[in-house]
């Protein structure tokens, strides 16, 4: 495939959407089902400043039915245009978002995102957190999907411990860096340790 022209809102989509999104979803599912593992996800060439992993996730999961919140550090007319052209997803406020994209600090405060209701805990936001790297684990993970314990690079620990205490409510996280993808569902218990 010819690399499509970057930096235009019309380029950088999936070359073969049914197959690329099937691969994208497999990576996302493996990440969510096995917290702490690092998956490779590719196929998208998003705009400058957005990792290809985050771009591929948006193309795989977003459509006109999902509201997307863009944190101030990534929000731009170009990104809005790119998202609209490729997915049709509306850009919405954090309080109404199904998905949110940004770096950790810009996504704060966490408590504005939807955490679901007692009867419908699935009606909660999924945050796509852009990370500088995923190679310096600072957290120990335990819970569903993890045999004994796993390790992951997290931007902090406190917020994830608070989020896990809300279980079965809470938000779920994807972490993206380059073409790498990891995930942390609300069911995972996080402690400090390499």
- Contact residues toward another protein (CB under 8 A) are 17-19, 21-23, 25-26, 28-30, 32-34, 60-63, 65-66, 98, 118-122, 124, 126, 143-147, 167-168, 172, 185-187
The residue among 33 and 48 lying less far from another protein, judged by its C-beta, is: 33
Considering the complex, what minimum distance in angstroms separates the CB of residue 152 from another protein? 15
Considering the complex, what minimum distance in angstroms separates the CB of residue 72 from another protein? 25
Considering the complex, what minimum distance in angstroms separates the CB of residue 106 from another protein? 23
The residue among 105 and 165 lying less far from another protein, judged by its C-beta, is: 165
Considering the complex, what minimum distance in angstroms separates the CB of residue 126 from another protein? 7
The residue among 39 and 124 lying less far from another protein, judged by its C-beta, is: 124
- Assigned token pair, 124: 């909660």
The residue among 99 and 104 lying less far from another protein, judged by its C-beta, is: 99
């Amino acid at each position: 495939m010819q690399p499509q022209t970057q930096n235009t809102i019309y380029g950088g989509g999936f070359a073969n959407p049914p197959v690329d999104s099937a691969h994208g979803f497999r990576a996302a599912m493996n990440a969510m089902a096995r917290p702490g593992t690092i998956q490779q996800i590719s196929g998208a060439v998003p705009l400058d400043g957005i990792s290809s992993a985050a771009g591929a996730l948006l193309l795989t999961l977003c459509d006109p039915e999902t509201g997307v919140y863009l944190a101030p550090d990534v929000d731009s007319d170009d990104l809005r245009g790119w998202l609209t052209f490729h997915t049709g997803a509306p850009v919405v406020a954090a309080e109404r978002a199904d998905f949110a994209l940004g770096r950790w600090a810009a996504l704060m405060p966490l408590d504005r995102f939807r955490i679901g209701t007692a009867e419908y805990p699935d009606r909660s936001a999924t945050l796509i957190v852009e990370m500088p790297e995923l190679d310096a684990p600072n957290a120990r993970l335990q819970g569903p999907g993890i045999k004994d314990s796993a390790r992951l690079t997290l931007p902090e620990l406190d917020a994830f411990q608070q989020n896990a205490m809300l279980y079965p409510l809470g938000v779920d996280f994807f972490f993206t860096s380059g073409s790498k993808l990891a995930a942390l569902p609300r069911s995972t218990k996080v402690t400090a340790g390499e």
